[in-house]
Amino acid sequence: MNLPPYTFEGGVAVVTGAASGIGRALALQLAGQGSHLALIDRDEAGLTRLASDLGQAHPRLRVTAHTFDLSRTAEIPQLADDVLHVHRRVTLLINNAGVALGGTFEQITLEQFEWVQSVNFRAPVALVKAFLPALSAELFPQIVNVSSLYGLLGPVGQSAYAASKFAVRGFSEVLRHELAPRGIGVTVVHPGGVRTNIANNALTAPGTSAAEAEAGKEAMNRVLSLDPAVAATIILRAAERRTPRVLVGSDAKVLDVLTRLLPGTYWGILGSLMARRSGADVRGETR
């Protein structure tokens, strides 16, 4: 089914991970296009600042801030109820929030692994489930699920993160096929190295020294270069056009081709390139 372009003006967008990075950039641009906003993040201070800024810049829009830890997936239905109580409707759901964890699978704990799955995968699933009745009541709504470059390839030291982002990719593809006949679009996003705080906020495996953790974060921050505003523009253009899958950044595009050409052996090339570029063992994250 060919869906018409998504209309931002007058719509209601739910954005997770809205307090910083790509999420903040998305919120700013959505408001600029006339969308009412329900902003979700665990960073209460950052979320409050953003909502205040948007309220001053766009007084005619309804902007609400919902401080929430997405690892509490069992409470997401109540979160959705809170959003709908104020906004009454939702036309766009952007599952952008994500957390990261550095360390090999042997080094990290199962509790850490499960935490990443809860925030990065189970929360988007629960949010889609909670908001689907409201989305289904709208004419041609849209769902945007942010995966990652690491939803296309599996680098050393990223078992939890890559597993969650591959899961988001698969979930999104099934959703697209199931919901298209009902007039609901689904876009899955694979950003490469976007300049966000995800590496700075990443957990590390037990036993990692402060110096090792800091070195890993510094190494990855050197490869996180794309402006979040540029990423947000690409994502919203894809949502408007109902693009099924969008690669954000030249690194994502190049590495997508590499994994297609060498699906079983790409790491021999990529591992060396990433280590050389970062100047350290690869332990960080992309968005």
Query: Which two structure tokens, joined as six digits, stand for 259?
Result: 């994994």
Query: What is the rounded CA–CA span in Å between residue 282 and residue 102?
Result: 9
pLDDT of residue 221: 45
Return the SS3 of 191.
strand
pLDDT of residue 66: 98
pLDDT of residue 285: 36
pLDDT of residue 270: 86
Q: What is the number of structural domains in the chain? A: 1
Inside any domain, residue 284:
no
pLDDT of residue 194: 74
pLDDT of residue 34: 98
Residue type, 190: H
Return the SS3 of 9.
coil
pLDDT of residue 209: 58
Inside any domain, residue 49:
yes
161 noted as active-site residue: yes
pLDDT of residue 203: 74
pLDDT of residue 217: 54
Q: What is the CATH number of the domain that holds 79?
A: 3.40.50.720
Strands ordered across the beta sheet of 185-191: 63-67, 36-41, 12-16, 92-95, 142-146, 185-191, 245-248
**Could you tell me the pTM of the whole model?**
0.90
Inside any domain, residue 2:
no
Q: What is the mean pLDDT of each run of 10 residues along the chain (287 residues)?
A: 94 98 97 98 97 97 98 98 98 97 94 98 98 98 97 95 98 98 97 69 68 55 74 98 96 93 92 66 40
Matching residue, tokens 């994250």: 285
Query: What is the rounded CA–CA span in Å between residue 75 and residue 71?
Result: 9
Query: What is the rounded CA–CA span in Å between residue 207 and residue 187?
Result: 39
Please give the helix or strand (H or E) that residue 39 lies within, else none: strand 36-41
Supply the range of the domain harboring residue 193. 12-278
Inside any domain, residue 156:
yes
Catalytic residue among 6, 150, 161, 266: 161
Inside any domain, residue 1:
no
- Output the DSSP codes for 160-176: HHHHHHHHHHHHHHHHH
Q: How open is the CA angle 35-169-214, to the nearest 5 degrees? A: 85
